């Protein structure tokens, strides 16, 4: 072989070397393409599942909106019909003042009427779509009022109350909505403790907002109950409307918050109502 000068010799690659290089490059490109294809397939699968979940959520909201409209119409009609019934029962009680048997029957009628009125109230609260009227208020004072209203029932059921809420904690929210939400949570807790127990209400400044927790020492909730508790008309109580927690969830939603439901490690269930800090201001800021 001829040499040029005295430097190192150079050997030009042969045809086999060129083919091996091309094959290696092709193999590497194929592997990259397969990885890209797999990543795209996984992303398409993820987006498809996400879209399906969003569609189910949208369909559920549309059904709930329709149910809400129907519930509002029915509730208003029933409430209008109950008004004269209440008046006539009051007049009948006066006429039966000297008839113990008649008064006993009348008492049973009024118990049924109050249960029906409670159902109507739940339907109206569930179907209400008004915006919250946010005002700052002392959270503990509201809770003390609620527990005061329920004192006879708490005493009758031998329920001990633990209220661990700072005296000066301010919450900027619709006070009547929060009252309704807490009342529903407390009544649910009482239903879970028919033979007595402990009702514990606490609040804390969490990372995402003020967290108000209502816990009981009852038997806790099954997996199905935890999964479906917020569904409208789902209930495990005989004669219940299944709207209590649905109303609480709706109140939390219009405030930009959420509701969390767990079983306590030592028994019982705990429901946490979280109101974001965006809706929490001081009395001084509100006055300004």
Torsion angle of C-alpha atoms 216, 220, 223, 229, degrees rounded to 10: -40
- Give the closest residue to 175 by CA, choosing from 138, 225, 220, 125: 138
**Same domain (yes/no): 119, 206:** no
Q: Dump pLDDT digits (tens) for 37-61.
A: 888 888 888 888 888 888 887 776 6
Measured distance CA(196)–CA(158) in Å, rounded? 5
**Same domain (yes/no): 32, 173:** no
DSSP run (H or E) holding 173: strand 170-173
Inform me whether the pLDDT recorded for 246 exceeds 70: yes
**Same domain (yes/no): 71, 199:** no
Of 104, 129, 154, the one marking the end of a domain is: 129
Structure tokens at 228: 């479906």
The domain in which residue 260 lies consists of: 135-287
DSSP run (H or E) holding 262: strand 258-263
Q: Dump pLDDT digits (tens) for 78-97.
A: 777 778 888 888 888 888 88
In a domain, 6, yes or no: no
Percentage with pLDDT > 90 across the chain = 24
Q: How high is the pLDDT of residue 1? A: 42
**Same domain (yes/no): 115, 168:** no
Inform me whether the pLDDT recorded for 149 exceeds 60: yes
Inform me whether the pLDDT recorded for 138 exceeds 70: yes
Residue carrying the six token digits 């002392």: 138
CB count, 10 Å around CB of 150? 18
Measured distance CA(49)–CA(45) in Å, rounded? 6
CB count, 10 Å around CB of 204? 13
CATH of the domain at 171: 3.30.565.10
Q: Comparing 53-62, 205-214, 269-278, which segment has the lowest mean pLDDT?
A: 53-62
Question: What integer best gives the mean pLDDT of the chain?
Answer: 80
Is beta strand 197-205 parallel, antiparallel or unpaired with respect to 159-164?
Answer: parallel
Contact predicate 197/217, CB 8 Å: yes
Q: How high is the pLDDT of residue 215? A: 95
**Same domain (yes/no): 101, 23:** yes
CATH of the domain at 38: 1.10.287
- Give the closest residue to 259 by CA, choosing from 230, 227, 284, 224: 230
Q: Comparing 6-10, 252-256, 271-275, which segment has the lowest mean pLDDT?
A: 6-10
- Give the closest residue to 189 by CA, choosing from 248, 136, 141: 248
Residue carrying the six token digits 């000068």: 5
**Same domain (yes/no): 119, 240:** no
Of 129, 151, 186, the one marking the end of a domain is: 129
Measured distance CA(119)–CA(277) in Å, rounded? 33
Model confidence at 279, pLDDT cuts 50, 70, 90, reads very low
> For the CA atoms of the chain, what is the radius of gyration?
32
* pLDDT, mean of residues 18-26: 78
Q: Is 64 left (phi over 0), alpha (psi -120 to 50) or beta?
A: alpha
Query: DSSP letter at 32?
Result: H
DSSP run (H or E) holding 79: helix 15-95
């Amino acid at each position: 072989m001829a040499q040029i000068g005295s430097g190192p010799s150079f050997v030009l690659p042969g045809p086999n070397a060129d083919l091996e290089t091309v094959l290696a490059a092709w193999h590497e490109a194929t592997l990259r393409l397969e990885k890209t294809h797999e990543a795209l397939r996984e992303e398409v699968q993820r987006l498809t599942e996400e879209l399906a979940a969003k569609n189910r959520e949208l369909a559920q909201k549309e059904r709930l909106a329709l149910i809400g409209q129907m519930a509002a119409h029915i509730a208003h009609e029933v409430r209008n019909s109950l008004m004269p019934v209440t008046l006539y029962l009051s007049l009948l009680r006066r006429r039966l003042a000297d008839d113990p048997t008649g008064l006993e029957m009348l008492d049973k009628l009024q118990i049924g009427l109050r249960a029906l009125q409670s159902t109507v109230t739940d339907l109206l609260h569930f179907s209400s779509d008004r915006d919250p009227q946010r005002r700052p208020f002392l959270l503990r004072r509201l809770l003390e009022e609620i527990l005061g209203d329920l004192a006879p029932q708490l005493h009758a059921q031998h329920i001990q109350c633990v209220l661990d809420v700072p005296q000066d904690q301010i919450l900027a929210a619709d006070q009547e909505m929060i009252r309704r939400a807490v009342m529903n949570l407390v009544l649910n807790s009482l239903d879970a403790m028919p033979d007595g127990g402990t009702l514990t209400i606490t609040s804390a400044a969490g990372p995402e907002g003020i967290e108000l927790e209502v816990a009981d020492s009852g038997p806790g909730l099954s997996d199905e109950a935890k999964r479906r508790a917020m569904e409208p008309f789902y209930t495990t109580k005989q004669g219940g409307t299944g709207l209590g927690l649905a109303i609480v969830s709706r109140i939390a939603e219009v405030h930009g918050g959420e509701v969390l439901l767990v079983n306590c490690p030592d028994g019982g269930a705990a429901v946490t109502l979280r109101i974001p800090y965006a809706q929490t201001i001081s009395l001084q800021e509100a006055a300004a």
